[in-house]
Chain A
Amino acid sequence: MNALLSVRGLGVDFETGDGPVHVLENVSLDIAPGEITGIIGESGSGKSVMAFAVMGILDPAARITGGDILFRGESLLAMDPRRRDGWRGREAAIIFQNPRAALNPIRRVGDQIGDVIARHDRPPAHALRGRVEDALRRVGIPDPARRARAWPFELSGGQCQRISIAMALACRPGLLIADEPTTGLDVTTQAAIIALIRALARENGTAVALITHDLALAAATCDRLAIMHAGHVVETAPAPTILAAPRHPYTRALLASAPALAGSINELQPIPGRLPDLRRADLPPCRFAERCPRRIARCDAPGPLGLHEAAPRHLLACRNPP
């Protein structure tokens, strides 16, 4: 297996006042080098939690209950914490939604990028400024020498996201996780940011995990798609396959509910029901079962529900696929 990142059967619980929340269960996902993988699911399906688990920045209340995360074949969970600190930012990076809040409000943006470069690449002091300006230039910021001295509050949301990208890619990591990078930006800026991420990824051979609600955007941008529902990965396949021949009932429902993908406005259908409450102790093996039109007795039979190969490069977690 030549995956860059391989999430294997990952489980994550959150301890809360009213008992544990089973946020991720048996999540598996491979990301190949240089590929753009879209991770799609409703709000609360655990996309961010998975991303944070990979980066090792989970909230203290989170507990990894099982599974492993491999990066270039090495377990991140078993990695020495000090090495893991060095791994973050150099080998893998993440950008978040709400780019303005993601930047330190009282530090010049150039210094924030410089902090990352200085930490991982330790260039000689006189070279740092040049590196920062390079990083800014690559993300399309005009007049980098001047912009490096700007404060975050002086920049627009789109520009802040460009700064975040510059920071993330400053040390040319092999993996970039983009967690809803365009939420809250206006439409033209959204397109520009996505185009920028794509271009930089192609240029550097960076693998990208693009987390989004927006199936149409993901379909247009990504090589592969992974569909998540309530803490499960339910289906992964090349993007065209998902669009043309989805197998999981949830994926189908998702496609039917996406305005840009449904044939006409009349064909738009909301997904019935809601995500199950993840605090429940009696969560069914298939967490979509309670919303699923194809539910049969076999769906509720005890035992873990894993991904199986429905076709080459097409993985599915469903006991009664159409």
Chain B
Amino acid sequence: MSMVLRRLLTAIPTLFGVVVVTFLLTRVLPGDPAVFFASNPSMSAADIAAVREHLGLDLPLRDQFLVYLGNLMHGDLGRSVATGQSVAAEFARRLPASAELTVAAFALAVAIALPLGVAAALRPGSPVDHAARLIATLGASLPSFVTGLLLIFAFYVFAGIAPEPAGRLAPFMVEPERVTGFLTLDALLAGERATFAAALRQLALPAAAMALFALAPLTRMTRAAMIATLGADFIRTARAAGLSRRTIIVTYALRNAMVPVATTMGMTFSYMLGANVLIERVFSWPGIGAFAIDSLINLDYAPLQAFMLVMAAVFITVNLATDLVTALIDPRAAR
């Protein structure tokens, strides 16, 4: 328990640092938000000054920061200059799309990587082992946006079995009532099987592209950790005690191997957050990454700022969760 508290406390300075960095970054960005309006010829210098004042850009940097911090406290992530919309509202709308994609891809990658890594470790030098090593090396070399495109070409253009890569649901379909924000789950909850199938089909390719990306580190670490654990003295003890193969592999080896694997899972999940940006772009996925990129290209910085904050917050949460899981598995880490 004290360990949880300690970890929470150490996350605070990091979180504060993240806020400072995000703030500074957006202040040095070349696009002065007011200039955006200045490009409109009907605006005079006085108008621009008014906009600056409205946006608080005439204040000293320290005061700007305090205002920014105060707004954050109220959940105000600023406004998109391009659309005039609240960034927080836009994020609330888009976050489930990104989350569903990332979680689905992560679950898919884990579901493949764990058994593959374990099987490879149990039979070193076997075909499974070679396959695992190939995936671990090749997978780490796949640019996710290229795999995404190749998947689109193969399954949509060429084979014609995947739907058009344009968002989460075909335009003519009605979204299910929003409960979780995950379309697949919501469709199931509403009992609309056709919608569920359609949403799953949309999800399949981008999730696969992202899972491919995550597969490599997960497989590599599972295999390595399992090999190391299987060679440990206590496994020899368990074998000598005549414990069943199942008990030895699952209760003794796998649980121990899960300690480093859990850490790798956390890291991989965070990497996936970054890769999200590219995948969402390739598949026109209406998530926060795509939104951030569109804003960046339009020199609209509030969404980018919010995006970085959200990413860092998720990252810190994931790290925290990883530490907790590790502490649950390993009593030595819980102290």
Chain B interface mostly: helix
- Considering only residues 92-134 of chain A, those with a C-beta below 8 Å from chain B are 93-94, 96, 98, 101-107, 115-116, 119-120
**Nearest residue in B to A101 (C-beta to C-beta)?**
B233
Within 239-281 of B, Cβ neighbours of A (below 8 Å) are at: 239-245, 247, 251-252, 255-256, 259
Contact flag A94-B240 (CB < 8 Å), given A101-B232, A103-B234: yes
- Measured between alpha carbons, how far is A238 from B243 in the docked complex, in Å? 35
Complex contact B234–A119 (CB within 8 A):
no
Counting CB contacts under 8 A, is B330 at the interface?
A: yes
Instruction: Pick the residue among A90, A102, A153 that contacts B234 (CB under 8 A).
Output: A102
**Selected interface stretch from A81-89, A200-208, A240-248:** A81-89
Neighbouring B residues of A115 by C-beta, 8 Å: 238, 241, 243, 247, 251
Distance between B229 CB and nearest chain A CB, rounded to angstroms: 10
Q: Is there contact, CB below 8 Å, between B332 and A105?
A: yes
Size band of the interface chain B makes with A? 20 to 34
- Give the shortest distance, in Å, between B263 (CB) and chain A (any CB): 15
Minimum CB–CB distance for B94 against chain A, Å: 40
Number of A positions contacting B (CB below 8 A): 28
Q: Are A98 and B233 also in contact (CB < 8 A) when A104-B238, A104-B252, A151-B331 are? A: yes
Question: Can you list, as one digit per residue, whether each of A162-173 has a CB less than 8 Å from chain B (1) or not (0)?
Answer: 001001100000
Closest Cβ of chain B to A56, distance in Å, is 8
Residues of chain A lying within 8 A (CB to CB) of residue B238 = 104, 115
A85 to B245, CA, bound (A): 9
Verify if A57 is at the interface (C-beta below 8 Å from B): yes
Q: CA separation between A143 and B28, bound complex, in Å?
A: 66
Instruction: Known A105-B332, A106-B255; judge A119-B236 contact (CB<8 A).
Output: no
Specify which of A85, A96, A105 is in contact with B244 (CB 8 Å cutoff): A85
In the complex, how many angstroms separate the beta carbon of B232 from the nearest chain A beta carbon? 7
**Is the C-beta of B312 less than 8 angstroms from some C-beta in chain A?**
no
Whether, in the assembled complex, B237 has its beta carbon less than 8 Å from a beta carbon of chain A, the answer is yes
Residues of B within 8 A of A96 (CB): 233, 236-237
A59 → B minimal CB distance (Å): 9
By beta carbon, the residue of chain A nearest B334 is A151
A50 CB within 8 Å of chain B? no
Closest to A103 in B: B234
* Chain B residue, CB-CB nearest to A98: B233
B255: shortest Cβ distance to chain A, in Å? 6
The residue that A55 contacts in the complex, of B240, B251, B259, with Cβ under 8 A, is B240
B237 CB → nearest A CB, Å: 5
CB distance from A85 to the nearest CB of B (A): 5
Given A101-B232, A104-B256, A105-B256, also A89-B330 (CB < 8 A): no
Is the CB–CB distance between B234 and A105 below 8 Å?
A: yes
Asked if residues B241 and A106 are in contact (CB atoms below 8 Å), the reply is: no
- Highest count of chain A CB atoms <10 Å: which of B232, B236, B252: B236
Partner of B236, one of A89, A102, A168: A102
Within residues 281 to 335 of chain B, which ones have a CB less than 8 A from any CB in chain A? 329-332
Nearest Cβ on chain A to B241's Cβ, whole angstroms: 4
Question: Residues of B contacting A102 with CB < 8 Å?
Answer: 233-234, 236-237
Please name all residues of chain B whose beta carbon is closer than 8 Å to the beta carbon of A88 when the two chains form the complex: 239-242
Instruction: Assess whether A85 is in contact with B332, with CB atoms less than 8 Å apart.
Output: no
List the A side residues contacting B255 at CB < 8 Å: 106-107
Residues 284 to 309 of chain A near chain B (Cβ within 8 Å):
none
Q: Collect the chain B residues with CB atoms within 8 Å of residue A103's CB.
A: 234, 237
Q: In the complex, what residue of chain A is closest to B124 when comparing beta carbons?
A: A60
- How far, in Å, is B124 (CB) from chain A's closest CB? 8
Q: Given the complex of chains A and B, what is the CA–CA distance between A98 and B234 in angstroms?
A: 10
Q: Once bound together, how far apart are the Cα atoms of A118 and B283, in whole Å? A: 54
Contacts of B332 in A (CB 8 A): 105-106, 151, 153
A86 to B239, CA, bound (A): 11
- Contact A116–B241 (Cβ < 8 Å): yes
A163 and B204 CA atoms in complex are apart in Å by 51
Residues facing A in B177-229 (CB within 8 A) are: none
* A57-B236 in contact (CB<8A): yes
Contact A167 B252 (CB under 8 A): no
A253 to B244 alpha-carbon distance, docked (Å): 44
Query: Hey, which chain A residues are within 8 Å of B251, CB to CB?
Result: 107, 115
Are A93 and B234 interface neighbours, CB within 8 A?
A: no
Best-buried of A101, A104, A116, A120 by chain B (most CB within 10 Å) = A104
Are A119 and B242 interface neighbours, CB within 8 A? yes
CA distance A89 to B242 in the complex (A): 5
Find A104's partner among B234, B239, B244 (CB 8 Å cutoff). B234
Q: How distant is the Cα of A87 from the Cα of B329 in the complex, in angstroms?
A: 31
Q: Is the CB of B252 within 8 A of A116?
A: no
Asked if B329 contacts A106 (CB within 8 A), the reply is yes
B contact residues around A116 at 8 Å (CB): 241-243
With A106-B330, A107-B251, A115-B251 already in contact, the answer to whether A93 and B241 are too (CB < 8 A) is yes
15 contacts between A and B (CB under 8 A): A57-B240, A85-B244, A85-B245, A88-B240, A89-B243, A102-B237, A103-B234, A104-B256, A105-B256, A105-B330, A106-B331, A107-B251, A119-B247, A151-B331, A153-B331
Counting from the closest, the 4 A-B pairs by CB-CB distance are A89-B242, A88-B242, A101-B233, A89-B241
A57-B239, A119-B244 are known contacts; what are 13 more A-B pairs with Cβ within 8 Å?
A: A85-B242, A88-B240, A88-B241, A89-B240, A101-B232, A104-B237, A105-B330, A107-B252, A115-B238, A115-B247, A115-B251, A153-B331, A167-B241
